[in-house]
Structure 1
Amino acid sequence: MPNNKMDRNIILRCSEPLVETRYNSVGEFIWKRLEEINNDKICMIDAVTELSITIGEFKQTATDIAVALLDRGVNQSSLIAFYGPNSIQHAILRVAVQLLGVTFMPLSPTFGQYEVIEKVKSVGADIVICSVNDLAKFSKLLNSNYNDKIKLVLVFDGKHGKYLTYDRLFKESKFIGRNLAKVPHYDVKSRDETLFLIHTSGTTGAPKCAQVPHRMFLNDVDIDNTSASSMVSSFLLPLGHISGTFALFTKLCLGCTMVMFSDCNDEFIAHSIQKYRINCLSISPTVCKQMVDHGLLDQYNMSSLKVLSTGGAAFPADTAREFIKKYGLMFRECTFLPYILSFKTPYAMTEYCRVSYKMSTTDYEPGNCGHITPGTELKVIDLSTGNSLGPNIDGEICIHGAKMITGYRNNAKAWAEVVDNKGWYRTGDIGHYNDKECIFITDRLKELMRIEVDQYYIKISPVEIEQYLQTHPSIAEVAVVGVNNKVGIHRPRAYTVLEFGHSVTGAEIIKFVYDSLARTKQLTGGVVFVDHIVKTKEKHLFSCPVSPR
């Protein structure tokens, strides 16, 4: 356990020093690590196709693809938008881009056409890399005037008559006849340069585009876990999320074997654990509960499991204890889906990589997020006075340290609203620390909705749904709120004021959203027509007098 200290301002710090690497770029760091791993070791296995690739094959293919991308016009100013499911090809392309030192932007697999267009245009992405099944999400963009800015469209699976495919790019790489002179190909002169961009709901308001620097990964990666190279780890985290993006880089550096899942259910996961002897399982609380409820712990041999990491929502204690009792494994409950195979990732967010981790593995304690990570400071403040609070008193958690993003792209105002002049980030999370200085998250200040999607949970801002609804010609004003169900998952509901003289049904508004927004932003809570909307200064719905209709 770290020997954390509190100063007179009641700030928690880890006594362990932050160990910094000598590298400026993630690409160089990954490459140096891969060179130390046996080329014959299995790097990845596709759980669906059962195809596999060794470390040596992965390195060679990634460098060949990187050179082919250069030949296709990718340069230092390129900004690459990635969209699509997990796959070996997708992973190779991600690493190839890092070998070049080019900035990229992962797009959430839940995004619909509207979100894809808005995100790509807002940052000026000029290269699109996606799966063939998701190409339709870009069709409107590629058929608009913006298409003149798109230099390259690459489909990383399947065949396509119009756009470049992965197979064709791979064949081209064999005829180029040169290697990268250095890694990264383009210089990364500072660790504060942007590694990738990713959209986040932040503390409140409309989604923002976070600038994730190389420093954020390099200051957080833990490669001292010597047992990790012998581990087989599930890879269920979407590459379109920050968790999946960091997981790919970290697990490559650790040398563990990754079993890649693109689409799955609870029984397929259980079957894969038995088949591939998976040791480390990162999974959502919902799927874990399904595995217990469906009797899969008895139907499949999952005795290979050593560590179970989960996050995104409160984990049912009885389910956790079933896994612990059955297999005697380590259990990690996280407030942010884990991405590092050092088994110490309980509390993180897009704006700050890892706030805390758990060192002790002997006792399972629901809600315990562990201790402060090296290089991080944390305080809990009173919401009324702003004063720092002592142990076991709930307040807003604020963080400061070396693993923070550099800000929100083209939105300095939004960043200034959540970071004070001393660099403290107000997380919007309510919680406390106990007498052992372990962190507990108990509530949210954030104006966010928690939505369940497949095997994980995501938090979305109602503002983006509101902004899209306000493009409807019949809607004068709208407020979207999350309606809780019995397990704490939100269903978005739109309280709607119509333009004078206009008429539209709730079903038509629901379809309007369905046609363009992500499935996580569907109005599953329905539409309620109101005369007017009053909001508090915090922008929460205050009252909606309903007129008869």
Structure 2
Amino acid sequence: MLRSPASLLRRVLTRSRPLVASRCMAQSKRSVVTSGYEVHSPFPDIEPAGDVVSVILDTARRFGHHTAVECSVTGRSYTYAQLEDAAFRFAGLLQGMGVQRGDVVGVLAPNGPEYPVVFLGSMIAGAGVTCFNPTYTPGEIARQLSDSGTKVIVVDPLLEVVLDAALAQLKRPPKVVLAGKSSRAEGGRPNLQELARDEGKPFGEYVKVSERDLSVLGYSSGTTGVPKGARIDHGAVAYNLAMVLHPEVFPYRPTTAESQESVIGLMPFFHAWGMYGVMTCSFQVLGAAVVTMPQFIPEVFVKVIKQHQVGVLHLVPPLLQFLVAHPLVTSDDLASVRSTMCAAAPCPPLAAHAFKKKVPNKVFFQEVYGMTETMPTHFTPLNGAENIGSCGVLLPSARARVEDLTSGAPLPPGEAGELVIHTPALMSGYHGNEDATRDVMTADGWLRTGDVAKYDSEGYFYIVDRIKELIKVKGLQVSPTELEDELRGHPSVADVGVVGVADERAGEVPRAYVVRRSTAETGDKVKDKEEEDRLAEALQKFLSERVAPHKHLLGGVKFVEELPKNPTGKLLRRTLKEMAAEE
């Protein structure tokens, strides 16, 4: 029988052995914006009734014959039944290695079929999980291993040498499990791929946890400082998944005996968007098939969309730009797409509209906002307007304020200030760092996001910029994101990053680092200095006609082959500012 999204949600809310009492409050008639300028979700408050592991195992048992995860490169895959068995065998291995409830298990690997095995198996064993960026240096890996207290780490064989260099820096290194076959002759370390399919290996004991036990120790991207470990407890994850899987928010179609949704696992699983928005939500209740990609290969990405008839695309802005501008991608390739979810960085409205125009059928464009510390808090609702450029409305049970950057007073609709959030899915704090926790938490338990935002009377939010990235021109605040959005409207601009550079008179003035359209599409960089000077002058004139004088590019225009970005496509302005300081 075909189950509706609402019926699937009810399964989340009515699980046995609840962590908290199950309750879905009746729809209220309250205004989204209160008289004190506190913004509420337009949806009723919600409380989860099932821990994450129990619900995923229930999904595995209902859809055991369906594919859970498949590698786009090798074809290696697990059905839901095989995923459950592999996870229990991995839990047994961990417990045999001394892992106990509350310990931390690490994973250093690109996206692959074993990633969810590590996640689910660790949680079955009662452990929390911390994920490492696979591009990290040995020093960065060593710092996270030390800070997190990782007891066992699972590593992709291609990264074994890098991990060993990190382990050499530690007095008490963790034990190591390989995600596949080692390239080294000596070997000796357990092989997860072999273990997962070895029916002779015993299952581990399913360790029950409380809502306050650690689920994920998620490290921030470090774009504004040294990465810190945000402690996300089991109760927070269960809460957030119930919030995200609201039937008027999440666009997946329900799985039946004959069919299931297929999605692409390209968003890095070590990042909150890939971890929660793609991997966990797909397995939690929905029984979707996740086709993993260890890295972005344009031809493979387009092939997977068409071959697997992907209906929902998880995007970040650079990937959106690729789908819009690259000649490899045709309208026919996108014929199966009916919905997108764009997150991790503000979405350029011009690119979103161009994407909708390129797809041959009607597409609903969703934008998402969240943080490592909160998981997703805002989504474009399926039953409302798209409002492209907005990150949507608050999810059930979440609240927010926008506070004046100077006085801290709550602001009315339309005025920009710092976004401050309250959610039951909030981190319990930064691991071992009470000072950093106090810096971001208010006395009444709200999180200061560090993002400048505004909202409208219907509760739609718009991210303006990061507080630390605002440019101060003669005391006036200038949003680099605003200038970037304007400059992307010029036909010669493929991508752009704006930062403030020092100026004796104004304090700071904006400078644009531009990737030329011809460079992005053909790989040819025009080196004629006169032509670059003419284009720089044209861009300055183009922007000056659209913004106030204090926002003009008085710091000039510089042309680059590419912009520095993190793996999720977020612009690293700090790197641009370092480049500017060296010029």
- State the 1:385 CA deviation: 1.6
**Aligned pairs (5 A) from 1:274-293:** 274-293=306-325
- State the 1:180 CA deviation: 4.5
Q: Please, which runs of 5 or more residues in structure 2 have no aligned partner? A: 1-26, 472-479, 481-494, 498-509, 517-570
The 1-side partners of 2:144 and 2:512 are apart by 28
Corresponding residue of 1:220 = 240
Corresponding residue of 1:366 = 388
- State the 1:16 CA deviation: 3.2
Q: SS of 2:136's equivalent?
A: coil
Question: What is the aligned counterpart of 1:187 among 197, 208, 220?
Answer: 208
Return closer, same or farther for 1:527/1:41 CA change in 2, 3 Å cut-off.
closer
Return closer, same or farther for 1:526/1:17 CA change in 2, 3 Å cut-off.
closer
**Aligned pairs (5 A) from 1:157-196:** 157-159=180-182, 160=184, 161-170=187-196, 174-176=199-201, 178-180=202-204, 185-189=206-210, 191-196=211-216
Q: Is residue 2:47 matched to residue 1:20?
A: yes
- State the 1:360 CA deviation: 4.2
Return closer, same or farther for 1:113/1:332 CA change in 2, 3 Å cut-off.
farther
Question: What is the aligned counterpart of 2:104 among 45, 69, 79?
Answer: 79
Corresponding residue of 1:9 = 36
**Aligned pairs (5 A) from 1:76-225:** 76-144=101-169, 146=171, 148-150=172-174, 152-159=175-182, 160=184, 161-170=187-196, 174-176=199-201, 178-180=202-204, 185-189=206-210, 191-200=211-220, 205-222=225-242, 223=245, 225=247
Corresponding residue of 1:533 = none
Question: What is the aligned counterpart of 2:58 among 22, 27, 32?
Answer: 32
TM-score normalised over the length of structure 2: 0.70
The 2-side partners of 1:202 and 1:433 are apart by 27
The 2-side partners of 1:210 and 1:375 are apart by 21
Contact 1:483 1:525 in 2 (8 A): no
Report the AA paired with residue 32 of structure 2: K
Report the AA paired with residue 372 of structure 1: L
Contact 2:233 2:428 in 1 (8 A): yes
The 1-side partners of 2:103 and 2:436 are apart by 26
The 2-side partners of 1:128 and 1:216 are apart by 24
The 1-side partners of 2:578 and 2:443 are apart by 42
> How big is each residue's C-alpha offset from its partner over 1:324-345, in whole Å with a ceiling of 9 and x where there is no partner?
23333434453xxxxxxxxxxx
The 1-side partners of 2:274 and 2:139 are apart by 23
TM-score normalised over the length of structure 1: 0.74
- State the 1:418 CA deviation: 1.4
Q: SS of 1:348's equivalent?
A: strand
Corresponding residue of 1:266 = 298
The 2-side partners of 1:203 and 1:145 are apart by 25
Corresponding residue of 2:262 = 232
Report the AA paired with residue 59 of structure 2: R
Return closer, same or farther for 1:520/1:157 CA change in 2, 3 Å cut-off.
farther
Contact 1:109 1:238 in 2 (8 A): no
- State the 1:484 CA deviation: 5.5
Q: Please, which runs of 5 or more residues in structure 1 have no aligned partner? A: 335-345, 451-456, 460-481, 489-518, 531-545
Return closer, same or farther for 1:415/1:362 CA change in 2, 3 Å cut-off.
closer
Return closer, same or farther for 1:134/1:4 CA change in 2, 3 Å cut-off.
farther
Q: Is residue 2:355 matched to residue 1:323?
A: yes
The 1-side partners of 2:511 and 2:132 are apart by 26
Q: Is residue 2:374 matched to residue 1:352?
A: yes
Q: SS of 1:53's equivalent?
A: strand
The 1-side partners of 2:234 and 2:426 are apart by 11
Question: What is the aligned counterpart of 1:384 among 406, 417, 432?
Answer: 406
- State the 1:407 CA deviation: 0.5
Contact 1:203 1:418 in 2 (8 A): no
The 2-side partners of 1:387 and 1:156 are apart by 51
Report the AA paired with residue 216 of structure 1: A
Report which stretch shifted further, 135-144 or 239-248: 135-144
Return closer, same or farther for 1:208/1:4 CA change in 2, 3 Å cut-off.
farther
Contact 1:203 1:428 in 2 (8 A): no
Count of residue pairs brought into register by the alignment: 452
Report the AA paired with residue 153 of structure 1: V
The 1-side partners of 2:101 and 2:467 are apart by 40
The 2-side partners of 1:105 and 1:243 are apart by 15
- State the 1:270 CA deviation: 1.1
**Aligned pairs (5 A) from 1:536-547:** none
> How big is each residue's C-alpha offset from its partner over 1:458-481, in whole Å with a ceiling of 9 and x where there is no partner?
x9xxxxxxxxxxxxxxxxxxxxxx
Return closer, same or farther for 1:390/1:47 CA change in 2, 3 Å cut-off.
same
Q: SS of 1:380's equivalent?
A: strand
Contact 2:33 2:457 in 1 (8 A): no
The 1-side partners of 2:283 and 2:165 are apart by 36
Q: SS of 1:164's equivalent?
A: coil
The 2-side partners of 1:440 and 1:526 are apart by 28
Contact 2:130 2:216 in 1 (8 A): yes
The 2-side partners of 1:200 and 1:232 are apart by 29
Return closer, same or farther for 1:396/1:278 CA change in 2, 3 Å cut-off.
same
The 2-side partners of 1:386 and 1:16 are apart by 27
Question: What is the aligned counterpart of 1:402 among 424, 440, 443?
Answer: 424
- State the 1:376 CA deviation: 1.1
Contact 2:180 2:194 in 1 (8 A): no
Q: Is residue 2:514 matched to residue 1:486?
A: yes
Report the AA paired with residue 47 of structure 1: S
Report the AA paired with residue 266 of structure 1: P
> How big is each residue's C-alpha offset from its partner over 1:252-305, in whole Å with a ceiling of 9 and x where there is no partner?
121111111112233321121111111111122223322332223427532111
The 1-side partners of 2:401 and 2:466 are apart by 16
Contact 1:81 1:104 in 2 (8 A): yes
Return closer, same or farther for 1:145/1:214 CA change in 2, 3 Å cut-off.
closer
The 1-side partners of 2:573 and 2:164 are apart by 21
Report the AA paired with residue 73 of structure 2: V
Return closer, same or farther for 1:312/1:38 CA change in 2, 3 Å cut-off.
closer
Report the AA paired with residue 211 of structure 1: R
Return closer, same or farther for 1:287/1:170 CA change in 2, 3 Å cut-off.
closer
Corresponding residue of 1:534 = none
> How big is each residue's C-alpha offset from its partner over 1:212-237, in whole Å with a ceiling of 9 and x where there is no partner?
11122111214455724232111111
Return closer, same or farther for 1:134/1:330 CA change in 2, 3 Å cut-off.
same
